[in-house]
Amino acid sequence: MKIDVHTHILPKAIADFKAKFGYGGFIQSPNLKNVNEPIKLYKDDGNFFRNVNYNCFDIETRLNEALLNDVSIQVLSTVPVMFSYFAKPNDGLYIAQYLNDDLACSVSLNKDRLIGLGTLPMQSTKFAVKELERCIKDLKLSGVQIGTHINDINLDNECLYPFYEACQDLNASIFIHPWDMIGQKQMPKYFLPWLVGMPMEISLAINSLIFGGIFAKFPKLKVCFAHGGGSFGFTLGRINHAYHVRPDLCAININEEPNSYLHNFYVDSLVHSQESLDFIIKIFGIDYIMTGSDYPFVLGEKYPGKLINENINLTDSDKAKLLYQNAQRWLSIGV
């Protein structure tokens, strides 16, 4: 059995948000006429965004592929390009509702196999909380996916406190995914925004939540960071050291060293090498890592959970934790 906490999905039809709102920046509806060919996604200015396959849209295809890999449950979230945090708050709310309605429909038809994480208009905390409540109470989603930062603010910003409070109250799981990578202009080649920027984005988000005192203020949050915590794990020693030698900068909002907050969050297992998997288990603990594949994208783990299953240092009981038991706890679902 496996629960894959990191998979993405798009609606088969995407509304023409540019026409509706009067400004652009959105992904156009896909052309799904030839489902056996790569499907080109375009932005509404005509620029090519990314090739994807039919499994990014089609529930039946993804459920069949999941079964082939012994994935019992996929946790679905949108593709981060759809966050649209740049949009006007009202428009962001409309987009989130559009995506969440589509997601909830797919999940409700496949309750045993799919779990949904909604999208929120994080550019307005008020609307984000409103849509979060709808996601959990009405649409029966298990939580939400948000970005590693929101436009110009990081995740420690006080304006987000009502969001964290609502997540706690609603027992909502929060999946934090890298996007809009800092320094992209300095990384025009070699896929570097994905290789350098994404691991940094995750570290930025973890550091923001720790140093901002978010885990201290909201200890019941159920947070998971993508990509094995990005570059955070390897720099943890430096981060702890900084806390002790520069408390004037690092200890403004917290009274304990960053190490103390490691069990306030989960990370997924998407690290692509046994050495890295062993390392994040050592850093974060066997109870705080969950299978995540980034399905259906090429930079993900093609056979979800393969790295875990093939790790010679893990017992069967360790593997059960990584493959599904930790996810059951994070998602508050029964054993």
Binding site for Zn ion (CB under 5 A): 294
Q: How far is the CB of 8 from Zn ion (least distance, A)?
A: 6
CB of 297 to Zn ion, least distance (A): 7
Query: Which residues, in sequence order, are bridge partners of residue 114?
Result: 74
Q: Which tokens in the block code for residue 226?
A: 């993508």
SS3 31: coil
Q: How far is the CB of 178 from Zn ion (least distance, A)?
A: 8
CA distance 51 to 217: 41
Residue (102 or 294) nearer to Zn ion, CB = 294
Q: Which is nearer to Zn ion, 107 or 250 (CB)?
A: 107
Nearer to Zn ion, 180 or 294 (CB): 294
Q: Whose Cβ is closer to Zn ion: residue 193's or residue 212's?
A: 193
Cα dist from 288 to 32, 80, 224, 285, 328, whole Å: 38, 23, 9, 6, 11
Q: Write the single-letter amino acid at 184.
A: Q
Token digits of residue 331: 């998602």
Could you tell me the smallest distance in angstroms from the CB atom of residue 161 to Zn ion?
A: 26
| Residues 155 and 148: beta-carbon distance below 8 Å | yes
Residue among 66, 73, 108, 137 at smallest CA distance from 333: 73
Shortest separation between residue 292's beta carbon and Zn ion, angstroms: 8
The Cα–Cα gap between 229 and 104 comes to 28
Closest approach of Zn ion to the CB of residue 100, in Å: 18
Cα(9)–Cα(199) distance, integer angstroms: 22
Nearer to Zn ion, 163 or 175 (CB): 175
If the CB atoms of residues 4 and 294 are measured against Zn ion, the closer one turns out to be 294
Q: How far is the CB of 256 from Zn ion (least distance, A)?
A: 31
Place of tokens 């056979």: 303
User: Toward Zn ion, which CB reaches closer, 30 or 296?
Assistant: 296
Nearest Cα to 123, choosing from 185, 180, 199?
180
Using CA atoms, how far residue 250 sits from 190, 239, 242, 246, in Å, is 34, 9, 7, 6
| Helix, strand, coil shares, percent, the chain, to 5 | 45, 15, 35
Nearest residue to Zn ion, by Cβ distance, number only: 294
CB of 226 vs Zn ion, minimal distance in Å: 6
Nearer to Zn ion, 100 or 148 (CB): 148
Give the C-alpha separation, 228 to 117, whole Å: 19
